[in-house]
A and B are shown apart, each in its own frame.
Chain A
């Protein structure tokens, strides 16, 4: 099996299976309400894809992916809100034509940063670009100074906290703790009907597969291999003449853009956006969903996100007290026992049987399994090679980890 091509035979089958699952099986089985819920879970899967590249491959744990998810979501929600607050819809307000929460907060003119969101084109560009821009600023500031590992995680967390407090505090400009609600139409097309929600689900599904293919392309390119090399022996990559910081900035921005797209699809499908999807808690839940699926497998991360969020909904509907316990146990169990998540379990126990199937038999001679370019360096069921082991990190002036 070749691992240097963009897609090999097994990848194609696996991605097709996922596509069938998302685009055929789920819509056939689920009623519109449940389908919409799964659509919501799938928007989180965009974030998980980004995390696979950023965390699984490059070893950069960001605990602030909720920031980028939220920024993308807010961009889309601002556009939809402006459309919903046209002059005739809001003529009972003291200032017609601005969103209702601004009117409630005695704001009489649309703030400047809301102005461009009248344009759909601008919004579509802003959805991946605004998160990527913030990621670029943070990334350049951090990675050029060789801040990484746990420090980076804590600082992204702090930024998530800042953004949440800011959104909640600036109620007149952002809708405060309620967020931006009551979104109605997209270019005159009502997004609240069951039909529209089903259509949006399919758009979301296709977009997810497209993003997955792009992410797969990045991982299988030389760039992807440099990312993995960076995770395992950062100094060696640096001494080989690569500009490590730029690669990190790139992958962080890429993950942020993916999260932004997810956020925008979330706002479209759920019909509102609020700071409760921005802060620290949702950010960590996103990371956990990715870890459960397998931090080094794109497909695993998608399935993991679906599984975690589906079980979260099921648990919190039936026995809300147990949910936190189950979730906490899941965190600990995955970290301690299955550091490679579901994908790791699949790789260790099921993958070899797939390789024996006649159609895949050609692949048997070359060892590296497909789901992970790093699997060759891993012990069969053991721990992941740590990105920054004590010895490596200690060379970096002590703040490397």
Chain B
């Protein structure tokens, strides 16, 4: 007996909270994957990452409004188009930002942090001017709402399942792209030794731009997924940025597996604790634990051993 619950109750609580944690985990993974590519692989601190995510969320909201107004027959399928559009919009914006801003700052990693923070302020204001300061909710097609009843005390929301499926798909895609495809080999070569990669004929500037674009595009997809669990407002991105950075650092910045493992640990711990404590205390305990572990093991959970 614990906290006055029987073991059967505790089992259902763990299952339900575990599933709630899985949804949080999916959004964390999508956010963190983009950031892991940008921060872990490129060494750029992108404080505007949350705003790229929110761009994806706004694109999703606009797509849903467009379908509702002009193509109500296809409304049940808009979400898949929205994901693609969110990826393209955030990715293109990311590439533009890389070209205008980031590429001048590769040798000054701390300064990218300040410049991208400035960028995030500008983007927030732009969103506020275009979409208004109010929170924007997205109407889900009917088949994505509701939940599946597994047992009499455990039920699972369907949109959560979709977010998880999406996350699995994107993660697999990124893994294939980074670890199997020729392009991913180039990315890793540039990150491990820029001068040598340049010398063997890799167009490092192009690789940088595409890598940054890919990271931002994935953030856009995270934003599309995010619309299912939260409402979109101009400043919503900022709430997640520190958590996401911790996920990436905790996992070991250059390891994608580590990112996923740490996103899993952090989100599961948090959602389980949230049931027993208040939300803010759960967050504090998780953040403190992560910071504590990072002080003992600054390189993160998983380390890629590279000779530089």
Binding site for B on A (CB under 8 A): 61, 63, 141-142, 145-147, 149-151, 153-155, 157-159, 161-162, 165-166, 168-169, 280-281, 284, 287-288, 291, 321, 324-325, 327-332, 334-336, 339, 383-384, 386-390, 394-395, 397-399, 401
Q: How long is the Cα–Cα vector from A159 to B115 in the complex, in angstroms? A: 22
Chain B residues with CB under 8 A of A153: 45, 110, 113
Chain B residues with CB under 8 A of A162: 284, 287-288, 291
Q: Report the minimum CB–CB distance from B43 to chain A (whole Å).
A: 7
| In contact, B115 and A331 (Cβ under 8 angstroms) | yes
The reply to whether the CB of B298 lies closer than 8 angstroms to some CB of chain A is yes
Interface residue count for B (Cβ, 8 Å)? 48
Q: How long is the Cα–Cα vector from A401 to B107 in the complex, in angstroms? A: 11
Also in contact, A166 and B284, with CB within 8 A (given A154-B245, A399-B298): yes
Q: Report the minimum CB–CB distance from A31 to chain B (whole Å).
A: 31
Chain B residues with CB under 8 A of A141: 295
Chain A residues with CB under 8 A of B287: 158, 161-162, 165
In the complex, the chain B residue whose C-beta lies closest to that of A166 is B284
In the complex, the chain B residue whose C-beta lies closest to that of A169 is B280
Q: Report the minimum CB–CB distance from A249 to chain B (whole Å).
A: 13
| In contact, A61 and B110 (Cβ under 8 angstroms) | yes
In the complex, the chain A residue whose C-beta lies closest to that of B43 is A401
Tell me which of B109, B129, B238, B242 contacts A401 (CB under 8 A).
B109
| In contact, B119 and A328 (Cβ under 8 angstroms) | yes
Q: Report the minimum CB–CB distance from B283 to chain A (whole Å).
A: 6
In the complex, the chain A residue whose C-beta lies closest to that of B109 is A150
Chain A residues with CB under 8 A of B246: 154, 158
The reply to whether the CB of B177 lies closer than 8 angstroms to some CB of chain A is no
Q: How long is the Cα–Cα vector from A230 to B110 in the complex, in angstroms? A: 16
Chain A residues with CB under 8 A of B185: none
Chain A residues with CB under 8 A of B14: none
21 A-B pairs whose Cβ atoms sit less than 8 Å apart in the complex: A150-B39, A150-B109, A154-B45, A154-B246, A157-B245, A158-B287, A162-B288, A168-B280, A169-B278, A169-B281, A284-B114, A284-B117, A288-B114, A325-B125, A328-B125, A329-B122, A330-B118, A335-B105, A394-B308, A398-B299, A401-B43
| In contact, B284 and A151 (Cβ under 8 angstroms) | no
Q: A150-B39, A162-B284, A335-B105 are in contact. List 6 more A-B contacts (CB 8 A).
A: A149-B109, A158-B246, A325-B125, A331-B114, A335-B114, A398-B254
The reply to whether the CB of B144 lies closer than 8 angstroms to some CB of chain A is no
| In contact, A324 and B122 (Cβ under 8 angstroms) | yes
| In contact, A149 and B110 (Cβ under 8 angstroms) | yes
Chain A residues with CB under 8 A of B108: 339, 383-384, 386
Tell me which of A321, A339, A386, A388 contacts B128 (CB under 8 A).
A321
User: Which of B111, B246, B288 has the largest count of A CB atoms less than 10 A from its CB?
Assistant: B111
Chain A residues with CB under 8 A of B74: none
Q: How long is the Cα–Cα vector from A372 to B28 in the complex, in angstroms? A: 43
Q: Report the minimum CB–CB distance from B205 to chain A (whole Å).
A: 16
Chain B residues with CB under 8 A of A155: 249, 291, 294-295
A-facing mask of B21-48, CB < 8 A → 1, else 0?
Answer: 0000000000000000001000101000
Tell me which of A154, A327, A390 contacts B121 (CB under 8 A).
A327
| In contact, B242 and A157 (Cβ under 8 angstroms) | yes
The reply to whether the CB of B196 lies closer than 8 angstroms to some CB of chain A is no
Chain B residues with CB under 8 A of A169: 278, 280-281, 284
Q: How long is the Cα–Cα vector from A390 to B117 in the complex, in angstroms? A: 22
